Chains A and B, each alone.
Chain A
């Protein structure tokens, strides 16, 4: 089963082979979890919850998968949508506590909302500081969608054309976002760490 493509495995799952989907889960468990961690500002438990939602969704929506279309962009589209929905629901919860969405999601913010996001059970534990490197903290500060483009291309290895499908952007626009993100990142890294 190791030499089968993602698309072949998904078709096998559509026909009732649970082991084929287990194989897909093994292939995508780490890439999707690390993508979600970065999308969700290293909120570890949130990323775990969303990862679970994504695989449940994939299993339930198996009949919607069109075997001739590439599997990987489809998976990342579902993961990104669930991740963004999670951020939105956190923003709603934050609004009830008079915390703005920006304060909750802006990693550069020193406002109490950011602290609350770490302390309140609603927002789950943030990955420990040792696990989040300086490079990752700078990536986290990149504006969207440049951050997602950078993570998907430089970290997860997706080609620009696939990222264009995931983000519903033109491939040329994806390229522009990528170069801008990499430039910004290296300019910040060139400055001495505080």
Chain B
């Protein structure tokens, strides 16, 4: 056994991980080895020495750059406070779908035009949603009536 191994045992002993038999052997070695006693003394004070290590900080420039990046990358909070009349962007947000998806349903969605701008009344849109829900439920019932058919909902094509 050499002093490198005894030093590892000292570390295990410090954390309470060395069994009694090894502790006895270690103590017998410490009684005769000044170098290992010095290692033990240093190891006992090491935690305090580590606490005293300088804690360096990133520069203000770097901290600022990270803060800017955080704000640029932060997801937009989901809006919930929609008014009675919505424009097309607000409608997409209200329905939680991309703007392109709203575009596909423009002929179907209840809307009105004012000053060259397409607008949507919230209550009318909610009624339109309810209508779609009823059609989906009816289609599911039709599917379930067919024995052995998989109970999956069929995409509903708008009747215009």
Closest B-chain residue to A13, C-beta based? Answer: B74
Q: Quick check: B66 and A55 within 8 Å, CB to CB? A: yes
Interface segment among A1-9, A25-33, A114-122: the answer is A25-33
Chain A 1-21 residues near chain B, CB threshold 8 A: 13-18, 21
Q: Quick check: A22 and B56 within 8 Å, CB to CB? A: no
Q: Is the interface of B mostly helix, strand, loop or mixed?
A: helix
Docked complex Cα distance between A185 and B76 (Å): 49
Q: Quick check: A187 and B76 within 8 Å, CB to CB? A: no
Q: Quick check: B38 and A59 within 8 Å, CB to CB? A: no
Known: A30-B57, A175-B17. A25 touches B66 (CB 8 A): yes
Q: Is the interface of A mostly helix, strand, loop or mixed?
A: helix
A127 in the interface (beta carbon within 8 A): yes
8 closest Cβ pairs, A-B complex? A16-B77, A183-B7, A18-B74, A59-B73, A179-B11, A48-B62, A183-B8, A182-B11
Residues of chain A at the chain B interface (Cβ within 8 Å) = 13-18, 21-22, 25, 29-30, 33-34, 37, 44, 47-48, 51-52, 55-56, 59-60, 62, 127, 131, 133, 135-136, 154-155, 175, 178-180, 182-187, 189-190
Other than A17-B77, A18-B71, A33-B57, give 11 A-B pairs with Cβ distance below 8 A. A13-B74, A18-B70, A21-B74, A22-B70, A25-B67, A59-B73, A179-B8, A183-B7, A183-B8, A183-B39, A186-B42
Residues of chain B at the chain A interface (Cβ within 8 Å) = 3-4, 7-8, 10-12, 15, 17, 35, 38-39, 42-43, 46-47, 49-50, 53-59, 62-63, 65-67, 69-71, 73-78
